Chain A
Amino acid sequence: MPRSSALAGLLVVVTTALLALLFFAAFLYAPEAQAAAGGAAQRIFYFHVPSAYALYLCGTVCCVASAAYLVRPTPTRDAWARAGAECAVLFGLAVMTSGPLWAKKAWGVYWTAEPRLTTLLLAFVIFAALGLLRAFAGDGEAERRFAAAFGVLGTVNLPIIHLSVRLWGGNHPTVIGRGGGGLAREMGQVLGLGFLAMTLLAGLLLWLRARNALLLSQLNDAEERVAALEAPQESQ
């Protein structure tokens, strides 16, 4: 078995185990929060916040790989940029489905035009547009460079999401960090587990998608070589 496959297998086992542990810890170990925070629905927090963090992580991978591609284009850099955007869409979707469900219980509404929600929606739309561009606009050099520039510029929005509550206020809770009231010890432990599990999940998915993108790039090269071999025969 190749070393990379063995490593991937190990990563799959550890990630699955941590996600299962997170699931049980969130339901059974973490204490229930106050009713104003959503009561039992507050347990969504343990994967909602780590999913948002994974979105930042994947967006950062997209940005760094895109910038590296613009400096020196290689199929590997392009593959990681593409993988970053695709995984950012997945985690964005996870945040944007879990958040409104929690908000309905805690705030009384699924959605509101609040700074963090609005900037998050914008980031999701940017990465989704990037994913659609890569899926449907071809895989030529021009498309790759355009997507790389889009990836770098689109990621500028990520720090804005993070700072939006501090800059413009809004309804989002600020439990952790400056001005926050903190968490119960068990809640902090489960949240830490959530961050660890989501980091591994993001790493695994990024690796899988980058491998897909590299395979697709190799396939396009092979098709071009076959077409080049067929062209002289057809002209004869």
Chain B
Amino acid sequence: MDEPRDFIASFMDDYFAESEEHLATARQHLLLLEAAMHDDELPTAIVDELFRSFHSLKGISAMVELREAEQLAHEMESCLARIRERRSVLTPPVFETLVSATNVLEQVIVGRREGSAIPSIDQALAQFATVGASSSSRDQPPGTSTVQTHAAHSPIRVTFTPTADLVARGVRVDTIRTRLSDTGHIERVAPRITKDGGITFEFLVTGIPDDTLRSWRDDGVTFEVIEPAAVPRPVEIPATTPGPANYVRVDLGRLDDLMRFVSDLVVSRARLEDTLLRVESYVPAAIWRTLEEHTESIERQLGDLREGVMRVRLVPVSEIFRRMPFVVRDLARDAGKQVQLELVGQSTEIDKFLIERMMDPVLHLVRNAVSHGIESPEERITAGKRPDGTIRLAASTVGESVVIEVSDDGRGIDADAISRRAREAGLDVPHGELHAQALLDVISLPGFSTRDEADRASGRGIGMSVVRDSIQELGGSLSVVTTAGAGTTFRAVLPLTLAITDALIVHVGSRTFAVPQSAIQEVADIDSSAVRAIEHNELVVHRGMPLPVVRLAQLFGIDSLERQRLHVIIVGSGLGAVGILVDRISGQREIVVKALHDPLVTVTGISGASELGDGQLVLILDVAGLTRTLRHRGTAIRAAV
């Protein structure tokens, strides 16, 4: 029996990846379905998509002999098929069953992947049996009458508007429902709020003669026939929904390889250019110009290629966000809270590497918002708020950063309670009132938890300390703003290009630095005699313009021999342009940026460090910071003169 087991094992990774994809699609469409549930027409396209997802899940689960998943997916598929064929009605209980079964299905698959216990699917199956039974009673339409004026299945929209008079006469919505179901077949029913705040009930029925309906007019019943051509109309799915066929799943490792190849190419091109410069004087001018044109177009094309590869790594932040409605829904229901989730900026693009590492931190912040931030409806009403709280999940690109914010309009963080609890737990807490950042420090201490009871959110989640660590490890930062009674906002700022950027590796004396390529306008060679001192500043004339320069050796107090040839790295543009003088440039490469946050090593001109693969760190120049101080110095000097 070992052989087939191995055979299956080799497919498991593919299975998990694929099932995750199908589950993600299913979740997304369940949400669309929920939104469209009360529409007049059955959202066929969504039901179809869900059907396909569960059908595929059933198939692949059967292939890996995950029987529980197969069975569940089968039930869901059948349920959806009944809905699609209008043998069953999509009611809220049916919808709930689909949602909870999706969650169980996910747990089954996760259980298998983690090698942990696979949850029982009996309850989910039983739920299907219940909702299935109630809908199957309508599997057979009642006998059709010959006096119909419409085809048996031409749907009619029947509207019932209850009034006090009608209620007094004993005509309620139940009465009408009974009449309709006795005479014909009710496809769907939904309450509607009218513009003036009243309520009406809309029934979609088939098989009821016009005359019968007309005779109920005095009982508050109106009706209109829906032309067959208009039904069913497929629901338009928002453009963000990934089509099934236009995507390729790529191992991130392969993208990294591609990126490395491109980086190697960039270095090779730089060497080629170097060599070319050395042969310039031996080459006839006309040929030289052609050569130059060629290397320039290679450079341009390389740039495009690099950007293209980078873009492949970018994915919309919705990959994180789309899981959240489920989390919020489940948690809110369990906690007896009412929560609206607002998603903003879902199309904001962020590196795949970051997406994967931000999933858990964001999940944790959202869980915290539900379990600690948002109050119970009663508490909110007492506080004069709407009973339902709002959690806002927003992403945006700000300059070179991606900002992800998780806000709630809940009770805010009680600083006193936090410090008390932290002290009780034996943690080192600064005395006096805690400002927001100190508060974050405290709740991020390992071992800190705000709740005595292991509630569901913190019980299986990760601590705030892990949230902050993971964000910092990505070169980002986390901050919090909280107002008692009004809510809390957690704000994660992440580097746009994740931790990977291209940099020029430069040398000054025995030190090595990396200069982010994105900051560099131009690199030029100059003779040291071209550097002229003007008052306290040094400058060179570059392209006919005076360019202030700074010697990195001097700025950083590094011993370096006076050299004949210097390299000037020009950063900034126009009047803000500054040249940084270095001894040597050894190449260009992709570096993984680790930000330097600690106050001990926060110095002007250094933004971070990168490990070049041999355990050695090089410091990354903060070009913006450097030019800023130079400008200030310049201004100060000008002001003093």
The yes or no verdict on A and B being binding partners is no
Interface residues of chain B, those whose CB is within 8 Å of chain A, are: none
